[in-house]
Structure 1
Amino acid sequence: MLKLGIIGTNWITQQFVEASEETKSFQLTEVYSRTEGKAKVFADKFQADDVTLTTDLETFFSSEKFSVVYIASPNSLHFSQAKLAIEHGKNVIVEKPSTSNIHEFATLQELAKAKGCFLLEAARHIYEPIFKKIQSYLEENKDQLSGATLSYMKYSSRYDDHLDGKEPNVFTTKFSGGALYDLGVYTIYDAVVLFGIPEKVDYQAEILSSGVDGSGSLTLKYPNFDVNIIVGKTKNSFMPSEIYFGKKTLLLDSGGDINRLSESDEDKHPSEIPTTKSDNPMDSEAIEFARIINENDQDKYAQLSRYARIVNRVLEHARASAGIVFEADKDE
């Protein structure tokens, strides 16, 4: 198994490490946190006595105990941490979005190429069997494709803190937060992987007092159809997502965490499409990332790098159309 170091001790990091253990893809060997107490609490969850705990990034990346780092810190920290990792010869798996803007992303890609390292953006849902089923359905019906509506809205547990005058990371420009750069990334990955590069991007956002978007409507224009995206962290939506094929419609229960697929036409109720889904949605991603690194699969890596580059460019164009400026932009 590949030796793994992690940055970030939140639930998503725990989920990735659990997936790594379940699939025997990566072995946790080192944990970085700003405080040793948090690092120890995280390591203890996995009863791993041989895991090294580190509170200094330079020491962490100088370690020879791991060759791959998984980064799940606040968005604005991804660039500097990934850059330092690559400079130390580490392969990087970074949570989406991997950077705050396309300039940072291009810098990391060029550095990774120069250093011979992998830079992988963790968009876990595109590796799941259920997403592969969507791709197969699309391939079989591509001549009838006529658009899509993708929705992913969940009331954030941190929104109440924002309303109380606090500054949670996910709702500040300092940490490159907002709905688009959180839940919206899932739906943009859906569009890019399934439909390709949009010709035009327009984002109508509900801007919060902190300067980030709480929710919004995004339109991606393609040559023959539009993809309409609804994202939000200030309200809940239970609306399914849909991909249109003339009279026929493919229904997804979500634009992000996809659990069910069904098909409908004008004459009948939706019929469910059988599919499978792991209890841990990161299992497929962990398996694929480990395979790419172990096999040095440059063809697949090039494809995923292209997806990530397009997604990060769409994110920036959408943000610009809504007038959202991150503090990270000032460093360009």
Structure 2
Amino acid sequence: MISLGIIGTNWITEQFIKATDETKTFALTNVYSRTEAKAESLIEDLKKKDIDISTDLTAFFKKDFDTVYIASPNGLHFAQAKQALENGKNVIVEKPSTSTIKEFSLLDDLAHKNGLYLFEAARHIHEPIFKKIEEIVDKNREKLSGASFSYMKYSSRYDAYLAGKNPNIFTTKFSGGALYDLGVYTVYDAVVLFGQPEKVDYDAEFLASGVDGSGALTLKYPDFDVNIIIGKTKNSYMSSEIYFGRDTLLLDNGGDISHLDWADDNKNITDVPALKAENPMDSEASEFARIMTEKDQATYDKLLKYARTVNRILEQARTSAGIVFDADEEK
């Protein structure tokens, strides 16, 4: 197994480590946290032993492990990934990997120069159910006539924001907001299934902190549009749809996809059988490890191209809406 260090001690880190255990792909050896207590708590929850804890990032990257998984706030991704690559570590970084396309290009160049891997952890595109969607789109591509994706979920941190606190996910300092959180999933949907759009436009509903609480994103392709609604300040239970003229593929969600249906012109709705793992991060853990072990350059290049395109679209979208991050000042 591939030795693994992690940055971040939240729920998503725990889920990723459980996925690596289930798939027997990565072996956790090192944990970085700002506080030793949080690191110890995570290790205890995971029932791990003999894990090295660091509270100093420089010391952490000097330790003997192969790959780092970064699940810190968005605004910290670039600096931490850069430091990892400079220290000879492969990087798996939670989406979005960077705040700007310039940052992404710098990381890509550094990984290439040092012969290392840089993965953006957009876990849902690796799941079997998403592969089924790709199969259906490819089979019916001549009839493809557009899509609508919806991913709106009331954030567990929004009440704290309303109470006057300053959660990272709702600040420009940490590159927060709906687009750079839930929106990433839906942009990945469009890029993987349909490619790069010709035009991007985002109409955002701003919060006083300067980030978008929700919004409507339009991706224009030569023959159709993809319309996306995203939000972290309200809940939506709308299904997402991919259109093939008279027929429609229904997705129960634009990001956390767990069920598919096919609807024909007579309103007959048929279940589309598709696999969904209990841990949605199992597939990406397996795929990243396989690519590294087998040195599958073709698949790695494809994933890197997806990530670059998604990060470019995100920047174009927030620029069109007038969203400015602190990271933009470093351009």
> What is the alpha-carbon distance in structure 2 between the residues aligned to residue 204 and residue 48 of structure 1?
46
Give the drift of 1:49.
Answer: 1.6
Q: What's the counterpart of residue 130 of structure 1?
A: 129
Q: How does 1:108-147 map to 2 (within 5 A)?
A: 108-147=107-146
> What is the alpha-carbon distance in structure 1 between the residues aligned to residue 122 and residue 34 of structure 2?
25
- 2:330 paired with 1:323: no
Q: How does 1:249-328 map to 2 (within 5 A)?
A: 249-328=248-327
User: Is the contact made by 2:128 and 2:274 (CA closer than 8 Å) also made in structure 1?
Assistant: yes
Q: How does 1:203-282 map to 2 (within 5 A)?
A: 203-282=202-281
Q: Secondary structure at the match of 1:69?
A: strand
> What is the alpha-carbon distance in structure 2 between the residues aligned to residue 27 and residue 20 of structure 1?
7
Q: Secondary structure at the match of 2:196?
A: coil
Amino acid at match of 1:305: L
Runs of 4+ that moved beyond 2 A: none
Q: How does 1:136-215 map to 2 (within 5 A)?
A: 136-215=135-214
Q: Deviations over 1:196-231 (max 9, x none)?
A: 000000000000000000000000000000000000
Give the drift of 1:165.
Answer: 1.2
Q: Secondary structure at the match of 2:316?
A: helix
> What is the alpha-carbon distance in structure 2 between the residues aligned to residue 205 and residue 286 of structure 1?
33
- TM-score after normalising by structure 2: 0.99
Amino acid at match of 2:52: T
Q: What's the counterpart of residue 39 of structure 1?
A: 39
Give the drift of 1:43.
Answer: 1.0
Q: Secondary structure at the match of 2:249?
A: strand
Q: How does 1:4-43 map to 2 (within 5 A)?
A: 4-43=4-43
Amino acid at match of 1:27: A
Amino acid at match of 1:133: K
Give the drift of 1:266.
Answer: 2.0
Q: What's the counterpart of residue 97 of structure 2?
A: 98
- Gaps of at least 5 residues in structure 1 are none
Give the drift of 1:269.
Answer: 2.9
Amino acid at match of 1:112: A
> What is the alpha-carbon distance in structure 1 between the residues aligned to residue 135 and residue 49 of structure 2?
44
Q: Secondary structure at the match of 1:268?
A: coil
- TM-score after normalising by structure 1: 0.99
Give the drift of 1:48.
Answer: 1.7
> What is the alpha-carbon distance in structure 2 between the residues aligned to residue 280 and residue 46 of structure 1?
15
Give the drift of 1:295.
Answer: 1.2
Q: What's the counterpart of residue 57 of structure 1?
A: 57
Amino acid at match of 1:273: V
RMSD: 0.6
> What is the alpha-carbon distance in structure 1 between the residues aligned to residue 207 and residue 253 of structure 2?
25
Give the drift of 1:45.
Answer: 1.5
> What is the alpha-carbon distance in structure 1 between the residues aligned to residue 242 and residue 25 of structure 2?
33
Give the drift of 1:267.
Answer: 0.5
Give the drift of 1:44.
Answer: 1.1
> What is the alpha-carbon distance in structure 1 between the residues aligned to residue 57 and residue 329 of structure 2?
24
- Give aligned-pair identity as a percent: 66
User: Is the contact made by 2:14 and 2:46 (CA closer than 8 Å) also made in structure 1?
Assistant: no
Amino acid at match of 2:205: E
> What is the alpha-carbon distance in structure 2 between the residues aligned to residue 120 and residue 13 of structure 1?
15
Amino acid at match of 1:60: F
> What is the alpha-carbon distance in structure 1 between the residues aligned to residue 273 and residue 167 of structure 2?
40
Q: Secondary structure at the match of 2:268?
A: strand
